[in-house]
Amino acid sequence: MPVDPIIWYVKLEVYIFLGALAAIIAHRLLTGEINTNYLLYGIQKDGTKYFSPERVQLLLFTLGTAMFYLSNVLQNRSSGVLPDVSNQTLAMLGGSHAIYLVGKAYMMLFKKTGKGD
């Protein structure tokens, strides 16, 4: 049996699987089965919620990096290999995560909460 039909069927199965996975996630997001309430909020030591700019920057930077990598994959799809992630991108992604973790640690360890805050 030639290899070309096998490769075509494997690609078709991967596309069907990824499409089904995306459809399931989209359905659950739209019906509320995946809870996105307070997605961009953190919790202080006393249990109160606060808007977290660290989470916003982490989310935006991660999505931006994923979109950048996806565009590189689509531009180089004829080569048959995945493009490398540059060291600068990895360092910036690590820095973004570090900003998030430092903000979280500050809110958990050092932020004083009281009735007047």
- What residues does each domain of the chain span? 1-36, 37-117
The per-residue pLDDT for range 5-14, each reduced to its tens digit, is 899 999 999 9
With 0.85 as the threshold, say if the pTM is over it.
Answer: no
The per-residue pLDDT for range 47-102, each reduced to its tens digit, is 888 888 888 999 999 999 999 999 999 999 888 889 999 999 999 999 999 998 98
The per-residue pLDDT for range 22-41, each reduced to its tens digit, is 999 999 999 999 998 888 99
Distance CA(48)–CA(46), nearest Å, equals 6
C-alpha triplet 113, 54, 35: angle, nearest 5°: 90
Backbone angles phi, psi at 80, to 5 degrees: 85, 5
